[in-house]
Structure 1
Amino acid sequence: MNQQNPYPWPGASATGVGSWPGEDPGEAMRTVLGELPDLPHLPELPERGVGADMVGRTGGLLPEFPIEVQPSGWRVADSPGRDLGRAASLMSYDLDALTEHAHGFTGTLKVQVAGPWTLAASIELRGGQRLVADPGACRDLAESHLEGVLAHLAEVRKRVPGARIIVQVDEPSLPSVLLGSLPTASGLSRLPAVDPVRIEASLRVLFSAIAESGAVPAAHCCAPGVPVDLLRRSGARALSLNALLLTRDHDEMVGTAVEAGVGLLLGVVPSTDDGTPAQTARMSDPAATVDPVRELWNRLGFSPDLLSRAVVTTPTCGLAGASPGHARAALTASRDGARVLRDEPRR
């Protein structure tokens, strides 16, 4: 970073949210590096099954907090078993692919981990209730999560020693945790909302530790009702949001974040192919792709010159559900859209 560009990425950058179709980490890494040279990310391949999914992938990083797969999903276990062993092996394959294809990379690299509150909303206690319902279990999970994330970050640094790292903490379940909309084990009622003060305090500890390690803490939430203010106050230096879900109600929160120097990773390209001519036409028109970003920027009233430095363009969410062809096209459209924000900030 420098005074001309205080953000941890070059101007007019594009990146992916995280997940990618297919099962070959080497091919995925090559594709991402080729399509997103300014801000590549470590791709996640959930099609590989148990342990490659969002919860299992991060669950494999948790020291002294074993989980296992049950018919209802991931659940706290007495000791590590084959599910966590598989998660660790799959992560090792991904890191080996990173080493092979990006060892000499010297730019900014993004890695993703599931956040502690999304894990707490997704993992069950032994009795079948969601872990988020137990404050003590949430504290234990947060402590293990922090230790595991920092160890993972250290391992990534060994593999790509010249890179600057952004750690994107994925919290898609955070709005549900805050609203108290998660169902109980029986499905007959809802779990109580968690105090926002508790959530903010725990995320502040995590983001602070990531920053102290020399990495850039970021937060991703592509769900409606994303708590922009809470994530900013917690110390996230970049926010990954679905631009197509942002309304005028978000303007003040997003504007405050930009004023505070927080970068924005804004999803503008559909993450799945609906097969319609309208979507195909829009994706082939970079200016139309980034119109929602430019409209937001005009409402906020910031300098057009800041737009391509503060904003990174992305797909609206992960690309695991897309065809390989659409996934590539989505990265191309994101990259082309970023260049439009630089070259044609206003229409």
Structure 2
Amino acid sequence: MSGPFEAGPGELARGPEDLTRGLEALAPAVPAEPPRPWPAGAATGIGSLPGTDIAEAVKTVLGELPDLPYLPELPGRGPGAEIIGRSAGFLVDLPVELYAARWRVAARRGRDLRRTADLLERDLDQLTEQADGYAGPLKIQCAGPWTLAASLDLPIGGAVLRDPGAVRELTASLAEGLAAHVAEVSRRVPGARLLLQLDEPSLPAVLAGRVPTESGFGTLRPVEPVTVVEALETVIGAAGVPVVAHCCAANAPIELFRSAGAVAVALDLALATDLDQIGEAIDAGVGLFAGAVPAGATPPTSARVAAGVRDLWNKLGFPLADLPDRVVITSACGLAGASPARAREIMKVSREAAERLLDEARS
């Protein structure tokens, strides 16, 4: 009788190495990691810029952040240009209006929504003109369902967040509206590979039960994580493009963003203290939009910014060679409060820091 590795009649002799190779051949192939929806060594901005000149803002972004430009937002133009009004303008069959300096659900479309739509149309016209012939990644932004639910009021008063049925309606409406917005931007800039950023600065308060009631004397009950993820999944799934989840507040729910399907998380690094959550997300393939350049102060040098991001990466325990592919450098938050010159300087520092890190990783 032949031994386990001895040739039997009519067989070729097979050793342990042959058996190992045979088992490896039968094992399913490990799929290659999908390419990132941004180039290695990229920098971008969070969204808002100072001023009221959208033509100049688009020109600045395309010039200073050529690897990952974005459609800028100019809240200085007033209601309908700031994050809540602009984002509420994407809602389908759920009109809103301004009342006592707050946005609330309305019975019908009115002049506030017409103004919001007009501002967006101007933005898209400038993007169409100045990005003519552009081919590459392009980021657009919108408030996420939970920040909208915490910021929009019901007609009878109080945040939409207080009514679970209203939240579901808002989520479905936002999902439909963002899908249409993505399609419109794709039509206007056909060479663009779109990336959608969902801004959720209010989500930590939603999860912790810190959103105030209408009277201001109490707070709304916290929302369960599973419910949060379901709403985010609805919007992310409808968008049809990769989604970055942005939260510049403390205690950003990174794990929930990852569970909902975000390809990256955008964080203010000064507030991102839970390194375990960040490391687990990166280990699972999620990218990091590192808010490494302070938005409200004189920016540090690009060398200092690069060193800070590199130090964080080393603490997380990942190879330096992987950093440029997985990390995008950004300002810590929006730049609406900066001067135009300072905003441009912050964008330049972000770009140069990303280039430094790319050079270091390749050397």
Into which bin does the TM-score normalised by the smaller protein fall? over 0.9
Shift of 1:290: 2.7
SS of aligned partner of 1:152? helix
Amino acid at match of 1:96: D
Once residues 153 and 307 of structure 2 are traced to their aligned partners in structure 1, the CA distance between those partners, rounded to angstroms, is 41
Q: Does 1:76 align with 2:105?
A: yes
Once residues 217 and 270 of structure 1 are traced to their aligned partners in structure 2, the CA distance between those partners, rounded to angstroms, is 23
Q: Does 1:303 align with 2:282?
A: no
Once residues 32 and 257 of structure 2 are traced to their aligned partners in structure 1, the CA distance between those partners, rounded to angstroms, is 24
Residue among 71, 81, 84 paired with 1:42: 71
Q: Does 1:173 align with 2:197?
A: no
Once residues 309 and 167 of structure 2 are traced to their aligned partners in structure 1, the CA distance between those partners, rounded to angstroms, is 36
Tell me what 1:202 maps to.
231
Tell me what 1:343 maps to.
359
Tell me what 2:46 maps to.
17
- Is the 2:172–2:234 contact (alpha carbons within 8 Å) kept by the matching residues of 1? no
TM-score, normalized by length of structure 2? 0.89
Tell me what 2:7 maps to.
none
Structure 1 292/245 Cα, relative in aligned 2: closer, same or farther at 3 Å? farther
Tell me what 1:145 maps to.
174
SS of aligned partner of 1:290? helix
In structure 2, stretches of 5+ residues that fail to align are 1-30
TM-score, normalized by length of structure 1? 0.93
Tell me what 1:231 maps to.
257
5 Å matches for 1:1-347? 6-210=35-239, 213=240, 215-247=241-273, 250-273=274-297, 279=298, 283=300, 285-344=301-360
Amino acid at match of 1:29: V
What is the alpha-carbon root mean square deviation over aligned residues? 1.5
Once residues 83 and 64 of structure 2 are traced to their aligned partners in structure 1, the CA distance between those partners, rounded to angstroms, is 23
Once residues 180 and 52 of structure 1 are traced to their aligned partners in structure 2, the CA distance between those partners, rounded to angstroms, is 28
Amino acid at match of 2:210: S
Structure whose CA Rg is larger: 2
Once residues 131 and 281 of structure 2 are traced to their aligned partners in structure 1, the CA distance between those partners, rounded to angstroms, is 32
Once residues 25 and 231 of structure 1 are traced to their aligned partners in structure 2, the CA distance between those partners, rounded to angstroms, is 31
Once residues 311 and 54 of structure 1 are traced to their aligned partners in structure 2, the CA distance between those partners, rounded to angstroms, is 25
Tell me what 2:6 maps to.
none
Shift of 1:209: 2.4
Tell me what 2:9 maps to.
none
Identity, % of aligned positions: 50
Shift of 1:216: 0.9
In structure 1, stretches of 5+ residues that fail to align are 274-278
Structure 1 36/60 Cα, relative in aligned 2: closer, same or farther at 3 Å? same
**Per-residue CA distance 1:289-328 (angstroms, 9 max, x = gap):** 1333212211111110000111000000011110001100
**Length, aligned pairs only:** 332
Once residues 147 and 74 of structure 1 are traced to their aligned partners in structure 2, the CA distance between those partners, rounded to angstroms, is 20
